[in-house]
Amino acid sequence: MQVQLNKDSNIRIDEDIVRRLEGDLESALERFGDRITRVEVHLGDENAAKSGVDDKRCSLEARVAGQQPIAVTHHAGSVKEAFDGAVGRLQKLLDSRIGRSGNHKGGPSIRHMPVDDSAL
């Protein structure tokens, strides 16, 4: 999985924090394996130099193989809180979209099971 981090000019983070965020994201999404090809992270400050409640924004866009991109956004008072909230939302959405692809109503699908003709 490739991670691409973008930030606006009002967000100041050093390379150590960038690596930590990328590592947190990769570990949070590792259970989806090779299904996710790329995740784009967009960090922004809605109010620029002014301080405010929930003015930091993190948007995540996951590219899933064979599907349309999945995007989530979370606002919070700090970049880390916005990032953590967006990662949580993305995990839930991916669980919903990818996690159910082989299951029907919480159980495994029987559509691909072999048919036993002797029982008929």
Inside any domain, residue 113: no
Joined together, the tokens standing for residue 103 give 């299951």
With respect to residue 116, please indicate whether it lies within any of the assigned structural domains. Answer: no
- Of residues 104 and 78, the one with the higher pLDDT is 78
**Residues 73-94 pLDDT 10s:** 999 988 999 999 999 999 999 9
User: Per-residue pLDDT tens for 9-64?
Assistant: 888 888 998 999 999 999 999 988 888 999 999 999 887 766 667 789 999 999 99
75 inside domain:
yes
User: Domain with 24 in it: what CATH number?
Assistant: 3.30.160.100
Is residue 107 in a domain? Answer: no
In a domain, 79, yes or no: yes
Domain count, the chain: 1
- With respect to residue 22, please indicate whether it lies within any of the assigned structural domains: yes
* Torsions phi, psi for 78 (to 5 deg): -135, 160
Note whether residue 49 is domain-resident: yes
Range of the domain at 72: 2-99
Spatial distance between the Cα atoms of 107 and 102, rounded to a whole number of angstroms:
8
Q: Is the dihedral angle over the CA atoms 88, 39, 99, 34 positive or is it negative?
A: negative
Distances (CA, A) of 71 to 19, 36, 97, 113: 21, 13, 12, 34
Helix (H, G, I), strand (E, B) or coil at 62: strand
